[in-house]
């Protein structure tokens, strides 16, 4: 089975930064519809901080590096999504603490802890129209794939599909959390910006594995 080293995670964090910077204006735009237009700014700031941290990290402990990246993110962007990303990376990193090599099983445990962190910190439930609604289905797929010892790329391809479907489903939901919740029924039919961030996370991992 494939192994990921700390250099892979540095590269992935770097790609995540690029993706968030590329999607800066798009995220600003969709967060502007029912939110405060900051998501493009905060995600760029958060992932830049994470990537900078990773670049400077000189040890080989993947878990610790990801935890520290999470701390850096929550300092750099203390918005809802910044804090959730920070929490996710901190918790996910904790699950990988001490590891210098990672396989799909480990990667699933990262995402599982990440997801639990989001649910803990945000207190939103599945169906509340948040990032949870794209990320949670993807993490469920990763569990399956990890149980079945799949390869990374196909596993993430499936997870991405689930995340994309999650985005669609979230679009139809009524927002219960965050600024969009003030729109009540009117929030239905509008894309949830957080769910897009969830999808972008999985997509970036997927793309990375594709090119390996």
Partner 1 sequence: MKKFLNKPEQFVDEMLEGIYLAHPDKLKYVNNDLRCLVRADSKKGKVGISTGGGSGHLPLFLGYVGDGMIDGCSVGGVFQSPSADQMFEVTKAIDQGQGVLYIYGNYGGDIMNFDMAAEMADMEDIKVLQVVAGEDVASSPKGEEHKRRGVAGIFFVYKIAGAAADKMLSLEEVKRLADKAAANVRTMGVALSPCIVPEIGKPSFTIEDGQMEIGMGIHGEPGIDKGPLKTADETAQILVDKIVKDLPYEKGDEVAVLVNGLGATPKEELYVLYRKVSEILNKAGISVFHVFVGEIATSMEMAGLSLSLLKLDDELKELLAKPADTPFYKQFQL
Ligand X SMILES: Nc1ncnc2c1ncn2[C@@H]1O[C@H](COP(=O)(O)OP(=O)(O)O)[C@@H](O)[C@H]1O
List the interface residues with partner 1, window 49-78 (CB under 8 A).
Answer: 71, 74-75, 78
Question: Nearer to ligand X by C-beta: 41 or 65?
Answer: 41
How remote is the C-alpha of 156 from its chain's centroid?
A: 13
List the interface residues with ligand X, window 21-60 (CB under 6 A).
Answer: 31, 35-36, 38-39, 42
Contact flag: residue 23 with partner 1 (CB under 8 A): no
What secondary structure letter does DSSP report for 124?
Answer: P
C-alpha closest to that of 90 among 108, 107, 73, 76: 73
Q: How far apart are CA 106 and CA 103, in angstroms?
A: 5
Binding-site member from 21, 181, 191, 207 for partner 1 (CB under 8 A)? 181
C-alpha closest to that of 118 among 106, 132, 129, 128: 132
C-alpha closest to that of 42 among 76, 72, 15: 76
- Please, are residues 174 and 188 in contact by the beta-carbon 8 Å criterion? yes
Contact flag: residue 36 with Mg ion (CB under 5 A): yes
Task: Count the Cβ atoms, other than its own, within 10 Å of residue 212.
Answer: 10
Binding-site member from 88, 92, 93, 122 for partner 1 (CB under 8 A)? 122
Residues in the site for ligand X, rule: CB under 6 A?
31, 35-36, 38-39, 42, 79-81, 84, 118, 122-124, 130-132, 177-179, 192-195
Residues in the site for partner 1, rule: CB under 8 A?
28, 32, 34, 36-38, 41-42, 71, 74-75, 78-80, 82-84, 87, 121-122, 177-179, 181-183, 186
């Amino acid at each position: 089975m494939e192994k990921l080293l700390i250099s892979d995670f540095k590269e992935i964090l770097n790609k995540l930064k690029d993706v968030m910077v590329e999607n800066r204006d798009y995220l600003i735009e969709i967060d502007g519809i029912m939110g405060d237009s900051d998501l493009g700014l905060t995600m760029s700031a958060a992932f830049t901080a994470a990537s900078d941290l990773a670049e400077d990290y000189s040890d080989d402990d993947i878990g610790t590096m990801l935890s520290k990246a999470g701390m850096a993110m929550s300092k750099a962007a203390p918005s809802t999504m910044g804090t959730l990303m920070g929490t996710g990376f901190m918790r996910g990193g904790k699950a990988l603490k001490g590891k210098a090599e990672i396989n799909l099983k480990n990667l699933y445990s990262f995402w599982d802890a990440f997801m639990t962190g989001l649910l803990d910190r945000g207190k939103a439930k599945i169906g509340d129209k948040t990032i949870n609604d794209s990320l949670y289905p993807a993490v469920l797929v990763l569990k399956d794939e990890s149980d079945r010892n799949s390869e990374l790329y196909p596993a993430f391809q499936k997870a991405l599909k689930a995340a994309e479907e999650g985005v669609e489903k979230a679009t139809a939901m009524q927002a219960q959390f965050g600024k969009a919740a003030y729109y009540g029924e009117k929030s239905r039919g509008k894309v949830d910006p957080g769910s897009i961030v969830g999808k972008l996370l999985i997509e970036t991992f997927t793309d990375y594995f594709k090119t390996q």
